[in-house]
Structure 1
Amino acid sequence: MRHPGARPQRPGGWQRPRPVLAPRVYAVTQWSSNARERRIVAVVVTFNRLGLLQRLLARLAEVEGLAHVLVLDNASTDGTGEWLASRAATGATPGLLARSLPTNRGGAGGFHDGLAWAIDLDADLVWLMDDDGVPDADSLERLLRHDGDLDFWGPAVLAEHDPTRLCFPIRLPGGSRVVHDMASVEEAAHEGLIRDVVIPFNGVLVTAALVDRIGLPREEFFIWGDDVEYLWRAREAGARCATVVDAHFLHPATDDLGTPMMFGRTTFNHSPSDLKHYCMARNNVVNLRDYRGGLHATAFVLKTFWFYTFTRPSLARLRLSVSAMRAGLRSDFTGHERFLR
C-alpha cells in the first residue's frame, strides 16, 4: 500500500517523496466576487541591504490596499533589525510588522516563514518580494485585475538599468524559445498574459487557497531553486500561473545569468559566488530529478561538467559542483553552511 503522503507513481517506478513542510493549522475561506474585500499582505525578505529595503518600503507605503507589510530580516548585520524595530515601534510605517531571525536562513527560509506568517494573519492574497527589487506604483493594481482567474501570478521582471530588457530570461511556453527583451514578451502575450510562466518571489501574488493545497517553500534550499521548486509544485497541483505583461517589477540585472555555452546553443547560470553556485547545483539537480526525471538531472550534470571544463575551465568549480550535487541527491541540505561562517 502506498504511503498516504506519497505522490502517484511515475512511469518506470520512480516516485517523488512529498516535501516535508511545516504543519498548517489555518483554515482557508474560498472567495467569490460577492464576498468581503480581499485581505492582501505583502512579504519582504531582507539581508544586509538596508538602503534598498528602505527604498522598497517607501514604495509599498504608496500602494493602496495592503493590510500589512511583513519584513523577515535574515539576521542582518548592517543595522536592519534595529531600524525595523524602531519603525514598527513608532508606527512610522503603517502596517509594518517585522521579525529578525536568529540566523540567516536565506530567501527560502525567509519566504517559508513569511508566507506562513501572512496566512496566520488571515491573508487571502500574499504579495512576495525580495528586498533588492521594487514594483511599479501600479503593479499591484494591474495584478489584481486578474484576481479570481489565477492562483499564482506576477509581473514582468525588468532589468533596473534598462527596463526594455528582462532581468531573467523567459522560456516561452510550448517551445524552446528563450526571450530576453520586453518587446518579445509583449509580442508573445495573449490577452496580456504569458500563461504558465511566472518569476517567483519578485512581486508575485499567491492565493491562500493555493498555499493550503501545496504547502510552503522548501526552507532547506536556503537560496536558489526554492522559487522554481515552488512554481513547479504549483503547476503540478493544477495551479493557474501567469505573468501579467503590463505589470512591472524592477530588479538589478545579473550579467552572469544565462551565460552562453556549447557554441551558443544553450546557457548556464554561472555565479562567481561559491555559496550561490553550491546551492544552485545542489537544488537544481534535486528539482530536475523530482519534477522532470532522471534524464533531465543527468543532462544538467553533463552541462555543468561542460561549462567548467570548456566554457570557463575551473577544476575547483568542478569539485564544488560534484560535492553539491552529491549532497542534493542524498537529501543533505547542510553543506552551504560552511560558506556562511
Structure 2
Amino acid sequence: MSAEQVAVVVVTFNRADLLERMLAGLGGLDRAPDAVFVVNNASTDHTREVLERSTLPGLVAIHTTENLGGAGGFHLGLKTAYDKGFDVMWLMDDDVVPAPDCLTRLLEADGSCLIAVREDLTGALVEKSAVRFDLRNPLAIRPKTASIDSTWATRADMPATVEVENVAFEGFLVRREVVERIGLPDPSYFIFYDDVDFAIRARRAGFPIRAVRDAVLVRQLSFDQQHDLAGWKGYYMYRNLFVVHFRYGENVLVRLKPWLVALVVVLLSPLRGGRAEARNVTRALRDARRMRALPPASPR
C-alpha cells in the first residue's frame, strides 16, 4: 500500500441519499483514505444528518453558510486538504461510488494527475473526459472533439492508461506538487468548466493527465448535460465556455470565437430559447471578458 497520505475531497449540495451511498463506497475501499473532507454547500435537505451519523473514519464535514457552487466547494476542500499537508487529494462528486479497489489502482499508476474511469449502473462506459480538447481550430464548434466513451466501446477495450486533455472532478486524483505549481481550482466559475480550467493549467505546467482503466467509479445518475440554455445554468455554461476560450485559446481566432457564438445564438434565439437565451449569452460574454485573467498560481 502507498505510504502517501491521501485525502478525499467531496462536494455535495442537496443530494443526501446519493452522498450516503458514496460515503458507504468510500468505507468499502480496500485502501482506506487517511481523511475525507466533505464540503456541504449549504444544503437544505438532510445532508447534515447523513454526515453526523456517518461512521466513516477520518470524516470531516465542512458546512458552508452559502452555496459556493462546485467550483467554490472544490477550491475550499482542496485548500483545506493541502493546508493540512496531505500528499494526494482525490476529488469526488456525491453521485459516484468507487469500486473497492479504485484508490489502490490509482495509487499504483504513475503520474501526478490521474482519473478513475466512470461506468453507469449497467456497466456501460460513460467516461466523458476528452482525449482531444481543441483550442487551436476556430472552426471546432465544441472544443471537445473526442472523449473516452466516444473512442472505446467498453472499458475493457481501453489501454491500461489513456492520456486525456480534460477531466471531471469525479474521481480526479492530484498530487501535492501540482497544487504547489498551479494553485487551486478557480472558484469564480461557480459551476461548469472549473475542472477543465484546472486540467488545462496542469497540462501546460508539464503534468500529463492519465485515465486509469482499472480504477472504476460507478455513476449513480444518468449523464444528461443538455441543460436549458435559457435557464440559469445556461448562463454559466456559456460564460465559462467563453472564459476557457479567452484564457487558453491558442490563437486570436479561437479567442474571438465567443463573439461569433454569441452572435449566432442571438440571431437564432427566436427559434431556440427566445429572449432568455439571448440575454444569457450576451451577459455571459460581458462577464467572461472580466474573467480573462488567470487565477493565482499559488495555493495560498
Class of the TM-score when normalised by the shorter of the 2 chains: 0.7 to 0.9
What is the distance in 2 between the residues matched to 1:301 and 1:163?
A: 41
| Structure 1 residue runs without a partner (length 5+) | 1-32, 258-269, 333-341
Higher relative contact order (CA 8 A, sep 6+): 2
Partner residue in 1 for 2:23: 57
* Residues 71 and 194, structure 2, Cα contact 8 Å, conserved in 1: yes
Q: How does 1:169-188 map to 2 (within 5 A)?
A: 170-172=130-132, 176-178=145-147, 180-181=149-150, 183-184=152-153
* Residues 113 and 173, structure 2, Cα contact 8 Å, conserved in 1: yes
Give the count of matched residue pairs.
279
What is the distance in 2 between the residues matched to 1:220 and 1:164?
A: 34
What is the distance in 2 between the residues matched to 1:320 and 1:48?
A: 25
Q: Which of 43, 54, 59 is the aligned partner of 1:76? A: 43
CA positional deviation for 1:204: 1.2
What is the distance in 2 between the residues matched to 1:179 and 1:58?
A: 27
3-state SS of paired residue (1:75): coil
Note the alpha carbon deviations across 1:275-330, whole angstroms, 9 max, x for none. 32111111111111111144224334434654672896122212211111211112
CA positional deviation for 1:49: 0.4
* Residues 189 and 245, structure 1, Cα contact 8 Å, conserved in 2: yes
TM-score (norm 1): 0.73
Partner residue in 1 for 2:256: 298
Q: Which of 156, 172, 175 is the aligned partner of 1:207? A: 175
Equivalent position amino acid for 1:289 in 2:
F
CA positional deviation for 1:167: 4.8
What is the distance in 1 between the residues matched to 2:168 and 2:102?
A: 15
What is the distance in 1 between the residues matched to 2:270 and 2:218?
A: 30
CA positional deviation for 1:253: 2.8
| Structure 2 residue runs without a partner (length 5+) | 135-143, 293-300
* Residues 288 and 296, structure 1, Cα contact 8 Å, conserved in 2: yes
CA positional deviation for 1:226: 0.5
* Residues 230 and 273, structure 2, Cα contact 8 Å, conserved in 1: no
CA positional deviation for 1:180: 3.2
What is the distance in 2 between the residues matched to 1:271 and 1:297?
A: 25
Partner residue in 1 for 2:12: 46
Q: Which of 237, 240, 246 is the aligned partner of 1:283? A: 240
Residue 118 (1) aligns with residue 76 (2): no
- The percent of aligned pairs where both chains have the same amino acid is 33
Q: Once structures 1 and 2 are overlaid, which stretch shifts more, 52-61 or 149-158?
A: 149-158
TM-score (norm 2): 0.82
CA positional deviation for 1:81: 2.2
What is the distance in 1 between the residues matched to 2:157 and 2:145?
A: 13
